[in-house]
Amino acid sequence: MENAKVINLKDIKFENGFWKEMQELVRNEVIPYQSKALDDGIDGAEPSRCKENFRKAAKALRLRKSGVKTPVYPTDKWHYTEEAGAFKGWVFQDSDLYKWIEAASYSLINHRDLKLEKAVDGAIELICSAAEDDGYIDTLYTINNPAARFENLRDFHELYCFGHLAEAACAHYSATGKKTLLSAAARFADLICKEFGEGGIQGYGGHPIAEEGLLKLYGKTGKRDYLDTARLFINRRGTRPYYFDLERGETTPKGEIKYTYNQAHLPVREQKEAAGHAVRAVYLYTAMAHLARIDDDSELLNTCKALFDDITDKKMYITGGIGSTKEGEAFTYAYDLPNGTAYAETCASVGMIFFARRMAQADFDSKYFNTAEKCLYNCVLAGMAEDGKSFFYTNPLEIDPKTLAADERKSHIKAVRQKWFDCACCPPNIARLISDLGEYCFMENDDTIFINLYENCKAKFDNAEIEINGDYTGSGKISVKIKPAEPVKIAFRIPDWSDNYIFSVKNPFVKKGYAYFEINEEQTIEADFSPRIKIMRCNPKVRENIGKVAVTRGPFVYCLEEKDNLSNLHMLRLAEHPKFSFDGENIFANGYREYFSSTALYSEYRPVKEKLVHLKFIPYYKWANRGENEMAVYIRYR
Amino acid sequence: MENAKVINLKDIKFENGFWKEMQELVRNEVIPYQSKALDDGIDGAEPSRCKENFRKAAKALRLRKSGVKTPVYPTDKWHYTEEAGAFKGWVFQDSDLYKWIEAASYSLINHRDLKLEKAVDGAIELICSAAEDDGYIDTLYTINNPAARFENLRDFHELYCFGHLAEAACAHYSATGKKTLLSAAARFADLICKEFGEGGIQGYGGHPIAEEGLLKLYGKTGKRDYLDTARLFINRRGTRPYYFDLERGETTPKGEIKYTYNQAHLPVREQKEAAGHAVRAVYLYTAMAHLARIDDDSELLNTCKALFDDITDKKMYITGGIGSTKEGEAFTYAYDLPNGTAYAETCASVGMIFFARRMAQADFDSKYFNTAEKCLYNCVLAGMAEDGKSFFYTNPLEIDPKTLAADERKSHIKAVRQKWFDCACCPPNIARLISDLGEYCFMENDDTIFINLYENCKAKFDNAEIEINGDYTGSGKISVKIKPAEPVKIAFRIPDWSDNYIFSVKNPFVKKGYAYFEINEEQTIEADFSPRIKIMRCNPKVRENIGKVAVTRGPFVYCLEEKDNLSNLHMLRLAEHPKFSFDGENIFANGYREYFSSTALYSEYRPVKEKLVHLKFIPYYKWANRGENEMAVYIRYR
């Protein structure tokens, strides 16, 4: 197996491009906003109480060390609001702070900021003050009942919080070289390796991520225990008897499948279809793909390939959203992609990008970053308002705001982005991904540098410097200047939407969707990916979209909004031979609106009456930035 | 206000027609089957435990009368399975026996059967043995805790069970002239009038029906207390402070609406839109319309008209199903009529027929029985298998059986009818409606006999005998022989699907959809309603069905089944100018099936490839009689 080298975010500098702007938004708005949110300082938003918990935990530790017996509170809920001295918020509340530190750390790499660095140091100090003597950190248990730790791995997110802590620690160490958080994470990791090793607790986390956290820690520290425990967690998952049965004294009859929600229904190597909670799924698959690469485990990699293909071929919205139902925030069945009740959680698409990157690093096929790009430019970006101040949790492909209050089936859908969520997983996930995006743009193996995403940037590698300039999302033209220190191969991802691409160097070798160029001396390669406005259709097995199409251009999926096209968007129809125009951002076309003079609910069919209309499509990620209004990605056609 | 006279089921004899066959099915299969079910004698079906509860209650009463203290069990659940000596089943389990007695009584009117009459007498004896000294009957409380009666009117169905008891008692009295059950119901009614009168409990039932039960008892006994208490229940409902708040020590803030599920969100006269649990809604509206007629209360009747029109103009499936969501089994918002996740409970359509009849009796407009007919021939009839042995609870308009297990949103949908339900409201509701259908065929006011439904029958009235013969659902031709004892007016409902009707007597006076004929001597009027195969469309506000049509003929809505048309029914399309044919039951047409060679989930639009196919449509009510398979009412068109 070819093996990817580690790309260092420090070596990739974004410059004046699409994602540079987004990174600046995250740096100037999202990270400070989230910092404030973690301090419960945002009017009209649910208080996070995250830092308050760390302070309480530190205090409880101090009291106990000084011999005071601290009160015991229950540890039996997902969400805590009641008892005065006890833990507050969700069982995974700690992870908000970790994700903020991770995002802030990447941001510090991209943009030095002493004030932010100091704020991060303060947060880390707070975290360290809440660490038990043996390295354990989880404020729920430290505050409420230390004796109950690791007793409910299925529901209560200690291992999940650890995973985010480990990821944050790795990011912070990369950003600052400081080992404060890395040491804390490593001490907790050491405890986990001891407690969960052979002869210890035979369990694993109900919400995967500890696995990827351990693998990242292994990457930073080289400590094999972390790799071994990650492997143990992955291989142990879903085996019989179910650990989650043992944990609660239950027995699942042979032949019955359980714990799909927790990604623990089958041993991972026996999983052929993406199932259960979408975020949990892709977080697990990310670690599986990562481990498959490290271990050169082709069986595990093949499982990952099957799962990746199952998602992208049968279970992914055209926007890159995954998770078709709010019931368990889960995958359902092949081709079930309802527009108006989609779950399509922002975090799930973020996780899909994690998974895609790990797959690309193991398999060097362009399909992975084609998918990552789809997620990134559409579902993920839609998760954040243009001003970086409000966020979507779920990302439907069609909305009629006036129906939401009356429809429990859409209880998860919001018509406008929310300031902050009491369950605040999505905003920091967007922040940490966008801030770290440099790491996704490139990958390397022994002889090739791969360009995955075409952001304007300057990048340094051992054997070459690369500079990308151009207008990837607009004209689709980019220029890549390569200064090799020694002869090097550069592989350009050919975007799947580009069917008429031209490289200035003719006849590159094309393999698995990458165009390979051998570079022996300084050279500039121009690429023109010629984005076209495309009318896209679904496989007819997607019941809801038969007879409908979506409009795309380059990486962007477009949508109609009521502000531009009046209400009852479903009554619109794209003209059979539409005349499209493009103003650099929006797409215009001719179409028809059905009109119906009768108020009858049912009537005998008469030829439909239509009025000519001018349709305006905006990029999907820009929707809901002008207040509540209808939105639709799909429009009827022919 | 014109006022309907009471039609006596005894005077209407069905003969060799569509509904005669259904009544025979109910008599020979459903009623005996349900009798067996009530005795828990059906293999593979959930035991009802209904009669067991009555026996337990009678025993508890005997013990208490002999001075033994009986154990107290909780009365805090909707469903009871646990404690050995306690009540078992749903809080409304008693009503199953009442509904069976009601159906059996109507059946006895239609068809004398000494064995059945004896079985009914036995059941009544059992019920009477469970009556408390003051007339109270509810086995849950009598068994578990008599002191807790009437403490939770919102959830626990004492008044609901009373309502069914009263309806059964009236039916039994009509059938047999025996007052055994009528007396028991009247004693319970007397207690209710006392307990809930001015100065008493200021509440009402969380599931309406006591109101209609009291009105029917008033009809049989003439006792004004029953009318007064029904009026009190209706006028008190939804007033502030909410009784259901008071009952549980809560306060709903001003401006906030609550208890919509219980039809207690607003005073009934302020209700303009059908909302909440669909069955509860139409049961309430039935009593409201009934009371409006008795009281000549035009304000209340106008409310009923608004609610009726809101349902039929905006919230009713083409099959007559109502209740668009499983969440609260409820109405949602205007034009929200999803096909695959419809609730459309059989009982709700039965209740809609009750409501329609009460409206027709007050307003003498054909639209009410047009709606009743739609419900009857489609949603209600679909609730029962062809062999009368299995039943649907919910009635979707589209189903793909293989998706059900994977989709919590469809947890209420079954692909084949079930033998018996542990919550068994629907089968006996079908049975009691069909057995009593004679009462729906006609109505009378001072000078006119109205024919609402055209079943082959002989009917006797004070001033005329009427005989209907023909083939209403087939050729649409009927002949109505009238023997007047004195000059009489006969009004024929002109079905809304008939746009080319012909009467043998020309130029009748037509008012509100009824054709009026003055009959002075024996006369036969032939009517030809000329049913046509129609392509029906929805108002385009019904998002899911834009671009789709349904096929109907006469009162029947048709559907496609996989058995006849292969799988992926959504890929079918009706030809633009279909050539229809009709074999007396099924409809055939030419159409197209899309085919798609690519496995891609998304691809650039290319002209769709289609194969010519022969479509077979069957009446909707006949679906799912050949095992699990796909079904769809709507098909794409143009």
Report the percentage of chain A scoring pLDDT > 70: 99
> CB distance from B602 to chain A under 8 Å?
yes
pLDDT, average across residues A575-597: 95
The predicted pLDDT at position B47 comes to: 78
> CB distance from A309 to chain B under 8 Å?
no
Q: Assign residue B181 a region: left if phi > 0, alpha if psi is -120 to 50, beta otherwise? A: alpha
Annotated active-site residue in B425, B457, B538, B559: B425
Report the percentage of chain B scoring pLDDT > 90: 89
The predicted pLDDT at position A82 comes to: 79
pLDDT, average across residues B83-100: 92
Q: How far, in Å, CA of B99 to CA of B426, rounded?
A: 10
Check pLDDT > 80 for residue B392.
Answer: yes
The predicted pLDDT at position B485 comes to: 95
Check pLDDT > 50 for residue A385.
Answer: yes
Check pLDDT > 50 for residue A2.
Answer: no
CB A441 within 8 A of CB A17: no
CB B534 within 8 A of CB A604: yes
Is residue B304 part of the annotated active site? The answer reads no
pLDDT in tens, B282-302: 999 999 999 999 999 999 999
Say how many C-beta atoms besides its own lie within 10 A of residue B471's C-beta. 14
Structure token digits, residue B168: 């059964």
Residue A512 makes CB contacts below 8 A (sequence gap 6+) with A363, A364, A365, A366, A367
Whether A570 and B543 lie within 8 Å, measured CB to CB: yes
pLDDT mean across residues, chain B: 94
CB A338 within 8 A of CB A324: yes
Q: How far, in Å, CA of B495 to CA of B555, rounded?
A: 8
Q: What is the nearest CA distance from B334 to chain A, expressed in angstroms?
A: 9
Structure token digits, residue B82: 């646990």
Q: How far, in Å, CA of B560 to CA of B399, rounded?
A: 10
> CB distance from B336 to chain A under 8 Å?
yes
3-state secondary structure string across B227-256: HHHHHHHHHHCCCCCCHHHHHCCCCCCCCC
DSSP-based three-state secondary structure for B461? coil
> CB distance from A273 to chain B under 8 Å?
no
Q: Which residues make beta-bridge pairs with A483?
A: A465
CB A205 within 8 A of CB A233: yes
Whether A603 and B534 lie within 8 Å, measured CB to CB: no
pLDDT, average across residues A587-597: 94
Alpha helices (runs of H) in A364-425, residue ranges in sequence order: 366-374, 381-382, 401-404
Q: How confident is the model at residue B597 (pLDDT cuts 50, 70, 90)?
A: confident
For B480, which DSSP code? E
> CB distance from A603 to chain B under 8 Å?
yes
Residue of A nearest to B570 (CA): A543
What percent helix, strand, coil does chain A show, rounded to 5? 40, 20, 40
Residue A144 makes CB contacts below 8 A (sequence gap 6+) with A72, A73, A74, A75, A80, A86, A87
Residue of A518, A516, A447, A522 lying closest to A483 (CA atoms): A522
Check pLDDT > 50 for residue B2.
Answer: no
Q: How far, in Å, CA of B331 to CA of B320, rounded?
A: 13
Whether A568 and B540 lie within 8 Å, measured CB to CB: yes
Residue of B nearest to A327 (CA): B408
CB B464 within 8 A of CB B521: no
Q: Which of B318, B535, B603 sits opposite A537 (nearest CB)?
A: B603
The predicted pLDDT at position A422 comes to: 57
pLDDT mean across residues, chain A: 94
Check pLDDT > 90 for residue A33.
Answer: no
Q: How far, in Å, CA of A259 to CA of A270, rounded?
A: 15
- Which of A47-56, A448-457, B573-582 bottoms out in mean pLDDT, i.e. has the lowest? A47-56
The predicted pLDDT at position B4 comes to: 64
The phi and psi torsions of A484 (rounded to 5 degrees) equal -80, 140
Q: Which residues make beta-bridge pairs with A553?
A: A533, A556
Size of interface A-B (CB pairs under 8 A): 130
Whether B537 and A603 lie within 8 Å, measured CB to CB: yes
DSSP notation for A408-465: GGGTT--SS-BS--SS--HHHHHHHHHHTTHHHHEEE-SSEEEE-S--SEEEE-SSEE
Q: Mutate one of B261, B331, B538, B602 to test the A interface: name it (highest A CB count within 10 A).
A: B602
Whether B409 and A406 lie within 8 Å, measured CB to CB: no
CA A71 to chain centre: 38
Q: What is the nearest CA distance from B30 to chain A, expressed in angstroms?
A: 33
The 8 Å CB, 24+ separation contacts for B18-25 are B18/B455, B18/B472, B18/B473, B19/B434, B19/B437, B19/B453, B19/B455, B20/B455, B20/B456, B20/B457, B22/B381, B22/B434, B23/B107, B23/B110, B23/B434, B23/B435, B23/B437, B25/B384, B25/B387, B25/B388
Q: Which residue has the tokens 């969440």?
A: B327
pLDDT in tens, B537-561: 999 999 999 999 999 999 999 999 9
Whether A605 and B637 lie within 8 Å, measured CB to CB: yes
Check pLDDT > 90 for residue B332.
Answer: yes
pLDDT, average across residues B114-118: 95
The predicted pLDDT at position A37 comes to: 84
Provide, as residue numbers in chain A, all residues whose Cβ is less than 8 Å from the Cβ of B313.
599-601
Q: Which residues make beta-bridge pairs with A398?
A: A632
Q: How far, in Å, CA of A483 to CA of B248, rounded?
A: 77
- Which of A486-500, B419-433, B468-482 bottoms out in mean pLDDT, i.e. has the lowest? B419-433
Whether A336 and B407 lie within 8 Å, measured CB to CB: yes
Q: What is the nearest CA distance from B471 to chain A, expressed in angstroms?
A: 24
Q: How far, in Å, CA of B187 to CA of B181, rounded?
A: 10
Q: Which residues make beta-bridge pairs with A79?
A: A90
B-proximal residues of A, 529-588, CB under 8 Å: 534-543, 546-547, 549, 568, 570-571
Q: Which of B325, B328, B538 sits opposite A602 (nearest CB)?
A: B538
Catalytic residues of A, which ones?
329, 425
Whether B604 and A537 lie within 8 Å, measured CB to CB: yes
Residue of B13, B15, B28 lying closest to B431 (CA atoms): B28
Q: Which residue has the tokens 């297990």?
A: B405
Rg (CA), chain B: 25
- Which of A219-228, B398-407, B436-445 bottoms out in mean pLDDT, i.e. has the lowest? B398-407
The predicted pLDDT at position A3 comes to: 54
Q: Which of A403, A536, A547 sits opposite B636 (nearest CB)?
A: A547
Report field, pTM of the whole predicted structure over 0.90: yes
The predicted pLDDT at position A48 comes to: 81
Annotated active-site residue in B329, B373, B439, B561: B329
Provide, as residue numbers in chain B, all residues whose Cβ is less than 8 Å from the Cβ of A535.
604-605
Range B300-335 burial, b when 16+ CB lie within 10 A, else e: bbebbbebbebbbebbbbbbbbbbbbbbbbbbbbbb
Residue A43 makes CB contacts below 8 A (sequence gap 6+) with none
Q: How far, in Å, CA of B520 to CA of B504, rounded?
A: 16
Whether B402 and A333 lie within 8 Å, measured CB to CB: yes
Q: Which of A335, A408, A636 sits opposite B547 (nearest CB)?
A: A636
The predicted pLDDT at position B297 comes to: 98
β-strands B635-637, B572-574 pairing: parallel
Going from the C-alpha of A438 to that of each of A106, A107, A109, A434, B128, the distances in angstroms are: 9, 11, 10, 8, 81
The predicted pLDDT at position A1 comes to: 39
Whether B407 and A333 lie within 8 Å, measured CB to CB: yes
> CB distance from A605 to chain B under 8 Å?
yes
Report the percentage of chain A scoring pLDDT > 90: 89
